Amino acid sequence: MPPRLRPGPALALVWLTLVGAAALLPSWFTALDPLAVAPAERLSGPSPAHPLGTDQLGRDLFARVVHGAGASLTAAALATLVGLVAGGVFGLLAGFLRGPADALIMRLMDMLLSIPGLLLSLALIAVLGPGTRNVAVAVGVTGIAAFARITRAEVLRVREEPFVEAARAGGARLPRVLLRHVLPNSLGPVRALAALDFAGAILAVSALSFLGYGVQPPHPEWGALVSEGRDALRTAWWLTTFPGLAVVVTVVAANRVSRALEGGLR
């Protein structure tokens, strides 16, 4: 029988599906323009007309949170992809080739791990410049070492399996052995790490956008929305609360999915 999906992972998947739909098709959730200014309605609290209230320029906060999902999730997905692909390649080569190649690659990964993630991201952004794509690349680089280490560990296990030895004894070339036999059988823990890294990437992207390095005004992004509302915490609590909740719930949901993948959807 297939594993039963418990309520926790199920609810997490539902939330992530809704957030993903909002990122891809925001018009399904709101018809309001997130950039439309209405000075007469500035700093209005949550109401039927504006479920999450309005900001300092009268822009609908619900529309800005919905449209901000696209920037946040796109950057987090790109960051995860950068870490997964680069780290996977390094880990695959280190685990299969062993010897000097393994030692060199893993020492480079140790160097990456020795640098705090936020500090490394800020240093890369200083070189690349601000912007969503550069923030995603900077965050992705910080995840390379983790993917490389777990991929290497799985490759070390799989490379000793009889079917891999049979392929090598049969004269299969190294790229074919790696891509056809080793890589597909090493992806289990890597998938769980990808979901976990996606959650961390959302936090990192939001933090960098909060500092002003991500999406530039007036375009919405969850971290930038929290930053915009920090000066009005006492008088307009909704400006930071709702974008912050979007970040928190999405990160928790991605973490729950990661745990389910790691434990076989237990």
Q: Is 54 domain-assigned?
A: no
Count CA atoms closer than 13 A to 19's CA, side-chain side: 28
Q: Which amino acid is at 258?
A: S
Q: 175 lies in which domain range?
A: 61-262
Confidence at residue 157, expressed as pLDDT on a 0 to 100 scale:
80
CATH code for the domain in which residue 165 is found: 1.10.3720.10
Q: How many domains does the chain have?
A: 1
Contacting residues for 47 by C-beta, under 8 A, at least 6 apart: 53
Q: How confident is the model at residue 64 (pLDDT cuts 50, 70, 90)?
A: very high
**CA–CA distance from 111 to each of 88, 144, 228 (Å)?**
17, 11, 36
109 found inside a domain: yes
Peptide bond into 218 cis (omega under 30): yes
The pTM of the full predicted model, rounded to 2 decimals, is 0.85
**In this predicted model, what pLDDT tens digit does every residue of 81-127 receive, in sequence order?**
999 999 988 988 888 788 888 899 999 999 998 988 889 999 999 89
Q: Average the pLDDT over each of 129-133, 141-145, 169-173 and give the range with the smallest value.
A: 169-173
CA dist 205 and 202 (Å) reads 5
Is residue 142 within 8 Å of residue 114, measured between CB atoms? no
Q: What is the mean pLDDT of residues 165-184?
A: 67
Residue 191 counted as domain residue: yes
Residue 181 pLDDT grade (very low, low, confident, very high; cuts 50, 70, 90): low
Residue 52 lies in a domain: no
Q: Is residue 55 part of a domain?
A: no
Residue 157 counted as domain residue = yes
Residue 173 sits at φ, ψ, to 5 deg, of -70, 160
Q: Has residue 240 been placed in a domain? A: yes
The model's confidence at residue 249, banded by pLDDT at 50, 70 and 90, is very high
The answer as to whether 28 is a domain residue is: no
Predicted confidence at residue 172, as pLDDT, reads: 64
**Residue 100 — φ and ψ, nearest 5°?**
-60, -35
What average pLDDT does the segment 65-75 reach?
92
The predicted structure's pLDDT at residue 86: 93
The percentage of the chain sitting over the pLDDT mark of 90, rounded to a whole number, equals 45
Produce one character per residue of 206-238: b if its CB has 16 or more CB atoms within 10 Å, e if not.
Answer: bbbbbbebbbeeebbbbbbbbbbbeeeeeebeb
* Cα dihedral sign, 198-63-56-133: positive
